[in-house]
Amino acid sequence: MFPFLSRLVTILVVSMFVTACSKKELRVFTWADYVKPELIQRFEQEHGCSVVIDTFDSNEAMYAKLQSGASGYDIVVPSSYMADIMASQGMLQRLDLSRLPGTVNIDETILAKIPDSKMQFAVPYALSYGVLGYRKDKLAAPAASWKMLENESVLKKTSLLNDMRETLGAALKYLGHSVNTTDEVQLEAAAEVVMKWKANAVKFDNEQYKGAVDAGEFYLVHGYSGDLYQVVSENSEVGILVPQEGVVIACDELAIPQSAAQADLAYKFIDFLLNPDVAAENMEWMGYPCPNKAAVKKVSSEFLESPAIKVPREAMDRSEVIRDLGEDRVKYSRVWDKIKSGG
């Protein structure tokens, strides 16, 4: 009898192992804290799969990794300008929108602002604004302006985003120029502004600034609106400033790489995220507004009134979405390299 039981246990263990190994695995390459964990678990349960999340901290880092040969990802989440670059280089699959019925919920006003307005290669997922987070207990009545980054009250108590287009874009807005300018004189002027900010800052950073302003180590940080929404939600001593000169708007999009092994599952995950109930729950968790008309009707008024979400009309009128500049990208790289090297 015992040998029989032993064989039965062995069969059951092997069966469980085979079942576990046969689970489909969806690999997603995205920004940190960009999908509510409970929603990921729900999708896994509904589709009998596992979702593996890898993160990047800038579009350029993501692009460089994929260009260097990294593969195995089924979904990537580039900002619209980077999605445009990747699509033009054949890195993304052309989408079959009949498999994404949830795209009917995408806000047309956002589609009009991005390069791929017909969603041929990517679907708008979330909007992010480059804003300022500050300590209320350290800065009295700070100005809603990019000039705060060179204020002596935040000397060595501030940080800048380690993102070429975001940070140069902020300086360009401060000077009254377009974040998509190709004028080298304007770019040089913006570089001089960033150098002043850099002299005040501790570092360029895309991740640790959240904890630093939360702990009071930094008094002012240049950061992503959703990141700062999460900090403000947990710490009443932290506030958000939307610079009156205008901000950089990033529309992050969901796309399927050409090399995706689980394209069918990727379609299901994208449409899952477009579901109004899912999108509403997700955006209130991550702190970034989704350009999903049906979902916006389901979120709380408190969320919609947050300064991380509701940009003043005057500032919004001056704000812009980053666009791909083609060969002119090298002009930005040139001044950014000079900034980073200290020259």
- Which percentage of the chain shows pLDDT scores above 90? 81
For the domain that residue 50 is a member of, what is the CATH number? 3.40.190.10
176 and 73 both lie in a single domain = no
pLDDT score recorded for residue 15: 44
Query: In the prediction, which pLDDT does 156 show?
Result: 97
In a domain, 99, yes or no: yes
CA-based nearest residue to 335, from 215, 182, 214, 222: 182
259, part of any domain: yes
- Torsion angle (degrees, nearest 10) of CA 182, 188, 192, 195: 70
Residue 180, domain extent: 128-249+310-341
100 located within any domain:
yes
| 114 and 132 co-located in one domain | no
Whether 10 is in a domain gets the answer no
SS3 content of the chain, % helix, strand, coil (to 5): 50, 20, 35
Same domain? For 70 and 106 the reply is yes
pLDDT at res. 18: 40
| 223 and 257 assigned to the same domain | no
Q: Are residues 31 and 139 located together in one domain of the fold? A: no
Residue 315 inside a domain? The answer is yes
Residues 157 and 214 in one domain: yes
| pLDDT tens digits for range 115-165 | 999 999 999 999 999 999 999 999 989 999 999 999 999 999 999 999 999
260-282 average pLDDT score:
97
68-79 pLDDT, tens per residue? 988 899 999 999
Q: Could you tell me the pLDDT band of residue 22, with boundaries at 50, 70 and 90?
A: low
Same domain, 232 and 326: yes
Tokens of 101: 């019925």
Within 10 Å of residue 340's Cβ, how many Cβ atoms?
A: 13
Phi and psi of 250, rounded to 5°? -115, 130
pTM, to two decimals: 0.82
Can you give the pLDDT at residue 23? 81
Question: Across the chain, what does the average pLDDT equal?
Answer: 92
One domain for residues 321 and 300: no
| Mean pLDDT on 281-286 | 95
User: How many folded domains does the chain comprise?
Assistant: 2
CA 243, CA 147: separation in Å to the nearest integer?
9
**Residue in this structure with the two tokens 């299901």, named with its chain if needed:** 268
With a cut of 80, say whether residue 52 has pLDDT above it: yes
